[in-house]
Amino acid sequence: MKKIILPLITLAIAFSGVVSVNAAVSREETLPYLSELIDFINENYIGEIDQQKLIEAAMSGIAKTLDDYSEYYTADEYAAITRSTAKTVYTVTFGFEMNRNGEFSIVEFPNGQKRDDDGFRYNDKINSVNGVSTKGLSLSEMRGLLISTTSAPLNINVTRSGKTLDIKARLIPVVTNTISYGGISTYINVKEENVDKEVGYIKIDTFGEGTADEFRSAVTALRRDKKTKLILDLRGNTGGYVDQAISICNLIVPSGTIITTRDKSGNTQTYKSNVTSVPFSKIVVLVDEMTASASEIIASALQDSGAGIIVGEHTFGKGVMQGVVEFGDMGTLKLTMYEYYSRNGRKIDGVGITPDVEIDEVMFVAETDKTNSKKLKDALVYLGYNTGSENDIVKSIGKFQISEGLTPTYKLNAETVARINLRLYENQKKSDDILMQGYLLCTR
pLDDT tens, residue by residue, 30-69:
677 778 888 888 889 998 888 888 888 888 888 888 988 8
In this structure, the strands spanning 357-358 and 268-273 are unpaired
- How much is the mean pLDDT over the chain? 85
- Pair (14, 156) in one structural domain: no
CA distances, 31 to each of 27, 28, 37 (Å): 6, 6, 10
Q: 68-98 pLDDT, tens per residue? A: 889 898 887 787 777 766 777 889 989 999 8
Co-location of 160 and 199 in the same domain: no
Instruction: Output the pLDDT for position 28.
Output: 66
Same domain, 331 and 399: no
Domain total in the chain: 4
**Structure pTM?**
0.68
- What's the pLDDT score for residue 36? 84
3 state SS of 262:
strand
Let me know: does 35 contact 27? Beta carbons within 8 Å.
no
Q: 379 and 397: one domain?
A: yes
Q: Is the pLDDT of residue 249 over 50?
A: yes
Q: What confidence score (pLDDT) does residue 336 get?
A: 93
Same domain flag for 345 and 200: yes
Rounded Cα distance between 223 and 280, Å, is: 8
152 and 258 in a single domain? The answer is: no
Q: Which range of residues forms the domain containing residue 228?
A: 179-358
Give residue 29's pLDDT. 67
Nearest Cα to Cα of residue 442 among 240, 253, 201: 201
* Of 24, 29, 51, nearest in space to 38 by CA: 51
Q: Is 304 found in the same domain as 223?
A: yes
Q: What is the per-residue pLDDT for 262?
A: 96
For residue 336, is it within any domain?
A: yes
- Domain CATH for 277: 3.90.226.10
23 found inside a domain: yes
Residues above pLDDT 90, as percent of the chain: 44
Q: Are residues 169 and 184 in the same domain?
A: no
168, 187: one domain: no
Strand order in the sheet with 229-233: 179-183, 199-204, 229-233, 282-287, 308-312, 357-358
pLDDT for residue 379? 86
